[in-house]
Amino acid sequence: MPRPAQKMTAAEWGDASHLWRGRFEGRDLGTGVTVLFFSTEDVGAGPSWHVHPYDEVFIVRKGRARFTIGDEKIDAEAGDILMGPAEVPHKYENLGPGPLETTDIHLSERWIQTDLDDPELA
Protein backbone atom coordinates (compact mmCIF):
# COMPACT_ATOMS: atom_id res chain seq x y z
CA MET A 1 0.00 0.00 0.00
CA PRO A 2 1.47 3.43 -0.89
CA ARG A 3 2.32 5.91 1.81
CA PRO A 4 -0.35 8.50 2.51
CA ALA A 5 0.22 12.12 1.51
CA GLN A 6 1.57 14.35 4.30
CA LYS A 7 1.14 18.03 5.08
CA MET A 8 3.00 20.44 7.34
CA THR A 9 1.59 23.90 7.94
CA ALA A 10 3.81 26.98 7.90
CA ALA A 11 3.31 27.25 11.67
CA GLU A 12 4.87 23.79 12.10
CA TRP A 13 8.17 24.62 10.37
CA GLY A 14 8.40 28.40 10.03
CA ASP A 15 9.45 31.30 12.16
CA ALA A 16 6.23 33.20 12.88
CA SER A 17 7.91 36.51 12.03
CA HIS A 18 8.93 35.44 8.53
CA LEU A 19 7.31 32.78 6.33
CA TRP A 20 10.52 31.60 4.65
CA ARG A 21 12.59 31.05 7.76
CA GLY A 22 12.55 27.73 9.57
CA ARG A 23 13.07 24.04 8.82
CA PHE A 24 11.48 20.64 8.69
CA GLU A 25 13.13 17.28 9.06
CA GLY A 26 12.36 14.55 6.55
CA ARG A 27 11.46 12.09 9.27
CA ASP A 28 8.46 14.34 10.10
CA LEU A 29 7.12 13.67 6.60
CA GLY A 30 8.45 10.13 6.21
CA THR A 31 11.11 11.10 3.66
CA GLY A 32 14.90 11.20 3.41
CA VAL A 33 15.44 14.96 3.05
CA THR A 34 15.49 17.80 5.55
CA VAL A 35 14.88 21.37 4.36
CA LEU A 36 16.03 24.59 6.01
CA PHE A 37 14.75 28.00 4.94
CA PHE A 38 17.27 30.77 5.71
CA SER A 39 16.62 34.49 5.56
CA THR A 40 18.54 37.57 6.69
CA GLU A 41 18.57 41.23 5.85
CA ASP A 42 21.94 41.80 7.53
CA VAL A 43 24.89 42.09 5.16
CA GLY A 44 27.65 39.74 6.31
CA ALA A 45 25.26 37.46 8.22
CA GLY A 46 24.84 33.78 7.49
CA PRO A 47 25.44 30.29 8.81
CA SER A 48 28.84 29.87 10.47
CA TRP A 49 31.53 27.33 9.52
CA HIS A 50 30.14 23.80 9.97
CA VAL A 51 29.97 20.33 8.43
CA HIS A 52 27.38 17.59 7.77
CA PRO A 53 27.85 13.84 7.18
CA TYR A 54 25.70 14.10 4.01
CA ASP A 55 25.47 16.26 0.87
CA GLU A 56 23.62 19.58 1.00
CA VAL A 57 22.06 21.49 -1.88
CA PHE A 58 21.73 25.29 -1.62
CA ILE A 59 19.16 27.23 -3.65
CA VAL A 60 19.58 31.01 -3.61
CA ARG A 61 16.03 32.35 -3.89
CA LYS A 62 16.73 36.04 -3.29
CA GLY A 63 19.80 38.24 -3.02
CA ARG A 64 23.52 37.52 -3.29
CA ALA A 65 25.76 35.31 -1.17
CA ARG A 66 29.39 34.27 -0.87
CA PHE A 67 29.66 30.55 -0.18
CA THR A 68 32.82 29.03 1.23
CA ILE A 69 32.77 25.29 0.56
CA GLY A 70 36.03 23.70 1.63
CA ASP A 71 38.78 25.86 0.08
CA GLU A 72 36.50 27.32 -2.62
CA LYS A 73 34.79 30.71 -2.49
CA ILE A 74 31.78 30.94 -4.80
CA ASP A 75 29.63 34.03 -5.29
CA ALA A 76 26.01 33.19 -6.09
CA GLU A 77 22.80 35.09 -6.72
CA ALA A 78 19.07 34.47 -6.97
CA GLY A 79 18.41 31.41 -9.13
CA ASP A 80 21.82 29.79 -8.56
CA ILE A 81 22.07 26.28 -7.08
CA LEU A 82 25.18 24.91 -5.35
CA MET A 83 26.11 21.57 -3.82
CA GLY A 84 28.16 21.09 -0.69
CA PRO A 85 29.62 17.58 -0.50
CA ALA A 86 29.36 15.46 2.64
CA GLU A 87 32.12 16.00 5.20
CA VAL A 88 33.30 19.26 3.55
CA PRO A 89 33.06 22.28 5.90
CA HIS A 90 31.09 25.23 4.56
CA LYS A 91 29.41 28.54 5.35
CA TYR A 92 27.82 31.43 3.49
CA GLU A 93 27.07 35.08 4.03
CA ASN A 94 24.80 37.77 2.64
CA LEU A 95 26.71 40.03 0.24
CA GLY A 96 23.85 42.53 -0.04
CA PRO A 97 22.55 44.93 -0.85
CA GLY A 98 19.22 43.77 0.51
CA PRO A 99 18.00 40.50 1.95
CA LEU A 100 19.29 36.99 1.29
CA GLU A 101 16.92 34.01 1.17
CA THR A 102 18.03 30.43 0.60
CA THR A 103 16.49 26.99 0.69
CA ASP A 104 19.02 24.43 1.95
CA ILE A 105 18.22 20.79 1.20
CA HIS A 106 19.96 18.28 3.47
CA LEU A 107 20.06 14.78 2.01
CA SER A 108 19.19 13.19 5.35
CA GLU A 109 15.99 12.43 7.21
CA ARG A 110 17.26 14.60 10.07
CA TRP A 111 19.45 17.65 10.51
CA ILE A 112 22.94 16.69 11.70
CA GLN A 113 25.43 19.55 12.03
CA THR A 114 28.81 19.93 13.67
CA ASP A 115 29.85 23.56 14.21
CA LEU A 116 33.56 24.20 13.71
CA ASP A 117 36.08 26.90 14.52
CA ASP A 118 36.29 29.13 11.45
CA PRO A 119 39.89 29.19 10.16
CA GLU A 120 39.28 32.68 8.73
CA LEU A 121 38.56 34.00 12.23
CA ALA A 122 41.60 32.37 13.89
Q: What are phi and psi of 12, to 5 degrees?
A: -80, -25
- Write down the pLDDT at residue 90: 95
Helix or strand holding residue 46 (H, E): none
Using one digit for the tens of pLDDT, what is the confidence trace for 36-87?
Answer: 999 999 999 999 999 999 999 999 999 999 999 999 999 999 989 999 999 9
Contact 99, 45 (CB under 8 A): no
- Greater pLDDT, 8 or 106: 106
- Greater pLDDT, 102 or 27: 102
